[in-house]
Amino acid sequence: MEMDNKKKRQSMILYLIIAAAAVIALRTFLFPSIMNGQIQETSYSEFLGMVDKKEVKQVKLDTSTGDITFTTGSGMDSKEFHTTLWPNDDSLVKRLQDSGATFSAQIPSQSANMLLYLLINLLPLIMIFGGAWLLNRRLKKAMGEDGPSMNFGGGFGLGAGGLGRSGAKEVKGEETGITFSDVAGQDEAKESLEEIVSFLEHPEKYAAIGARCPRGALLVGPPGTGKTLLAKAVAGEAKVPFFSISGSEFVEMFVGRGAAKVRDLFKQAKEKAPCIIFIDEIDTVGKKRDAGLNTNDEREQTLNQLLAEMDGFDNHKGIVVLAATNRPDSLDAALLRPGRFDRRIPVELPDLTGREAILKLHAGDVKMEGGVDFAAVARQTPGASGADLANMINEAALRAVRMGRTRVTQTDIEESVDTVIAGEKKKSTVLSEHEKEVVAYHETGHAIVAAVQDGKAPVSKITIVPRTSGALGFTMQAEEDERYLTTREEYKQRIAVLCGGRAAEELIFGHMTSGAANDIEKATKIARAMVTQLGMSERFGMMALGESRNRYLGGGSELTCSEGTARDVDEEVKTLVEEGHSTALKTLRENRFKLHEIAHYLQKKETITGEEFMNILNRDDGFAPRYPQE
């Protein structure tokens, strides 16, 4: 991304240089004054001298530029000269008349000349400012994409500060037309927002009784769970204008703009009250202010302005400020004080029924074949956000079109689930037969350890088709029902399942491959959480050893213990993962024949369903080893 922008910027500068060169060339050729050759440059006094000596035969004056071209002599001897008119020389006409020369002024072509003149003289200016403006815009765009951490101080060159931003960019209130019915599965959040809707609809009712309605509410949750959507829905339900701005927009390139924008936003909102002001990604501007060296004055100014505005408005008129963030713990405490964002509305990842509802809602936008089992899809997608699910439906519709169908089928959706979870199928990766065999054993290893240990999250699919995400295969487990508590045993089982891939490779081939890297990372993360956060280790018991960071962004925890303890934590984590690894090895050893059979079947078919898998696993073979080689 960055590379790309740099290139674009470079080519932009190149264009500017070429354009400037072209302008200079144009000037040179169009204006005879600088042209050498037949036309000779003279001074005005010489010209007057020649006029007085009656040498001058013909004079042409360009009134717009003051260029004088004149000829002396006649026939072969005639010579052409150029000079420039002395300003306001009233005596010239008389002198010319006395000399008997013919003289004329170029008035007819004046307008055209003027235009050309203007164009040629303004073009470089236009280009420089245009270029600067474009550059400015590009930089800003790049800044938006690369996150708000970049901050160009006020000193960025080209003098483009005032351009493209005459005052704060005006924010318009929009009628969103989105209602709560467009948001599925966030019933608690909707309930908390109902009150705000009712306040916006009848602010006078609240004023009459003397109730103080919340000025601000903070929507908190992981990305893609529908926070923006909910904010819009509040405005839509109450039929009030929606003023929205994103925190990353506040972190402006030019100092002082952020605060100005906040002022502008509230000013306009006050005129349109009742209304909603929505500040997306408020963490980018509302981060904790620290006394450290790297304080960002611009951000602080913006935040202070925001706080001042929130205290300042008269909320009997019906202005509610909603904000969204996925890193609530990084917010400045001043923002969360009473009278500001004192309501916190969690917008969590959807549960099983929520996922089904979201899928159905978005499926309403596309043509679906009857009888699609959304509940099954919901079961396969624990951890998916509303945005992921909406994306799945869209991917399914795209797939249906690719397949030349007019309706979306269950297969389309199942394929798109894989795509969204694991990435597109990758055709360019061609595994050798041996690699395929290794991957098949690896995935079967996961599946068998999962299936043998417990039936609560049965295997629903195993595939060894490489994905663009880099995965060479995956085993999908579908949860039967949503669970909110996880026992220590279950965590240990999860670690064992994650170790199952590597264990199968070791058991069958006696060597290790790089294919288990992701599994190892996940297993270690679970083990670390068990020790430091969940109080599930014998050694430390119920002692918090770390603080979780960015819960909604999947961030891990930060150790808060002494160095010596940290070393012990590592030991404990190692023990837990090793335990999982030996459980996996033991399970696979006991089911060695099934491992062979299923892995070979998988290698041949590339994708098998949970049902096929369970059929083979549960079939009673009477302990007879079976190798269905072909």
What residues are labeled active site?
443
For residue 23, the partner it binds in Zn ion, ligand ADP, Mg ion, none, with Cβ less than 5 to 8 A by kind, is: none
Of 72, 83, 113, 228, the one binding ligand ADP (CB under 6 A) is: 228
Helix H or strand E segment including 242: strand 242-246
| Cα–Cα distance for residue pair 500/487, rounded to 1 Å | 20
Q: Please answer whether residues 446 and 498 qualify as being in contact, where contact means their C-beta atoms are separated by less than 8 angstroms.
A: yes
SS3 assignment for 109-155: CHHHHHHHHHHHHHHHHHHHHHHHHHHHHHHHHHHHHCCCCCCCCCC
Starting from the edge strand earliest in sequence, which strands make up the sheet with 474-477, in order? 474-477, 459-463, 607-609
- Choose the stretch contacting ligand ADP; rule: CB under 6 A; options: 249-257, 289-297, 384-392, 455-463: 384-392
Which residue blocks in 427-487 are alpha helix, DSSP H?
433-453
Distance of CA 532 to the CA centre of its chain: 33
Query: CB-wise, 328 or 501, nearer to Zn ion?
Result: 501
| Closest among 573, 593, 577, 571 to 528, alpha carbons compared | 573
Q: Burial of 405 by CB count in 10 Å (0-12 exposed, 13-18 middle, 19+ buried)? A: middle
Q: Which two three-digit tokens encode residue 541?
A: 């018991």
Q: What is the x/- site pattern for Zn ion, positions 495-514, by CB under 5 A?
A: ------x-------------
For residue 251, the partner it binds in Zn ion, Mg ion, ligand ADP, none, with Cβ less than 5 to 8 A by kind, is: none
- Choose the stretch contacting ligand ADP; rule: CB under 6 A; options: 1-9, 383-391, 394-402, 543-551: 383-391
SS3 (DSSP) at 90: coil
Q: Could you tell me the sign of the dihedral formed by the alpha carbons of 612, 613, 616, 617, in that order?
A: negative
Of 16, 56, 101, 184, the one binding ligand ADP (CB under 6 A) is: 184
Query: Which residues touch 253 (CB under 8 Å, ≥6 apart)?
Result: 136, 139, 140, 143, 151, 152, 156
For residue 256, the partner it binds in Zn ion, Mg ion, ligand ADP, none, with Cβ less than 5 to 8 A by kind, is: none
| Cα–Cα distance for residue pair 132/127, rounded to 1 Å | 8
Query: CB-wise, 355 or 502, nearer to ligand ADP?
Result: 355
Of 214, 226, 236, 328, the one binding ligand ADP (CB under 6 A) is: 226
| Closest among 285, 263, 284, 265 to 275, alpha carbons compared | 265
Least separation in angstroms between CB 508 and Zn ion: 14
Query: CB-wise, 142 or 520, nearer to Zn ion?
Result: 520
Least separation in angstroms between CB 597 and Mg ion: 48
**How many helices and strands (H and E) does the chain possess?**
21, 15
Q: Which two three-digit tokens encode residue 302?
A: 């913006």
- Choose the stretch contacting ligand ADP; rule: CB under 6 A; options: 63-71, 180-188, 435-443, 619-627: 180-188
Query: CB-wise, 183 or 471, nearer to ligand ADP?
Result: 183
Eight-class DSSP state of 85:
P
Query: CB-wise, 201 or 348, nearer to ligand ADP?
Result: 348
| Cα–Cα distance for residue pair 31/406, rounded to 1 Å | 66
Segment 332 to 371, residues that bind ligand ADP, using CB under 6 A: 358, 361
By CB under 5 A, residue 225 contacts Mg ion: no
> CB 525: neighbour CB atoms within 10 A?
16
Least separation in angstroms between CB 190 and Mg ion: 17
Of 67, 281, 505, 519, the one binding Zn ion (CB under 5 A) is: 519
- Choose the stretch contacting Mg ion; rule: CB under 5 A; options: 71-79, 223-231, 416-424, 529-537: 223-231
Query: CB-wise, 303 or 361, nearer to ligand ADP?
Result: 361
| Cα–Cα distance for residue pair 165/159, rounded to 1 Å | 13
Query: CB-wise, 48 or 219, nearer to Mg ion?
Result: 219
Segment 186 to 205, residues that bind ligand ADP, using CB under 6 A: 186
Least separation in angstroms between CB 222 and ligand ADP: 7
Residue nearest to ligand ADP according to CB distances in the complex? 386
- Choose the stretch contacting Zn ion; rule: CB under 5 A; options: 88-96, 259-267, 399-407, 494-502: 494-502
For residue 361, the partner it binds in Zn ion, ligand ADP, Mg ion, none, with Cβ less than 5 to 8 A by kind, is: ligand ADP
By CB under 6 A, residue 224 contacts ligand ADP: yes
Least separation in angstroms between CB 472 and Zn ion: 9
For residue 501, the partner it binds in Zn ion, ligand ADP, Mg ion, none, with Cβ less than 5 to 8 A by kind, is: Zn ion
Of 229, 273, 323, 462, the one binding ligand ADP (CB under 6 A) is: 229
Least separation in angstroms between CB 342 and Zn ion: 46
| Closest among 248, 22, 44, 260 to 119, alpha carbons compared | 22
- Choose the stretch contacting Mg ion; rule: CB under 5 A; options: 155-163, 220-228, 394-402, 547-555: 220-228
By CB under 5 A, residue 228 contacts Mg ion: yes
Instruction: Count how many Cα atoms sit within 13 Å of the Cα of residue 305 in the half-sphere of its side chain.
Output: 20
- Choose the stretch contacting ligand ADP; rule: CB under 6 A; options: 68-76, 219-227, 396-404, 601-609: 219-227
Strands (E), 478-560: 546-548, 557-559
Q: Please answer whether residues 276 and 254 qualify as being in contact, where contact means their C-beta atoms are separated by less than 8 angstroms.
A: no
| Cα–Cα distance for residue pair 486/83, rounded to 1 Å | 94
Distance of CA 286 to the CA centre of its chain: 19
Residue nearest to Mg ion according to CB distances in the complex? 228
Least separation in angstroms between CB 257 and ligand ADP: 24
Of 131, 161, 185, 328, the one binding ligand ADP (CB under 6 A) is: 185
Least separation in angstroms between CB 517 and Zn ion: 9
- Choose the stretch contacting Mg ion; rule: CB under 5 A; options: 222-230, 343-351, 576-584, 615-623: 222-230
| Closest among 617, 314, 563 to 449, alpha carbons compared | 617
Q: Please answer whether residues 453 and 588 qualify as being in contact, where contact means their C-beta atoms are separated by less than 8 angstroms.
A: no
Least separation in angstroms between CB 352 and ligand ADP: 14
Q: Please answer whether residues 459 and 477 qualify as being in contact, where contact means their C-beta atoms are separated by less than 8 angstroms.
A: yes
Least separation in angstroms between CB 341 and Mg ion: 16
For residue 519, the partner it binds in Mg ion, ligand ADP, Zn ion, none, with Cβ less than 5 to 8 A by kind, is: Zn ion
Segment 105 to 124, residues that bind ligand ADP, using CB under 6 A: none
Least separation in angstroms between CB 348 and ligand ADP: 10
**Which residue is listed with tokens 């979870």?**
421
| Cα–Cα distance for residue pair 343/336, rounded to 1 Å | 8
Residues that bind ligand ADP (CB under 6 A): 183-186, 223-229, 324, 358, 361, 386-387, 390
Residues that bind Mg ion (CB under 5 A): 228
Residues that bind Zn ion (CB under 5 A): 501, 519
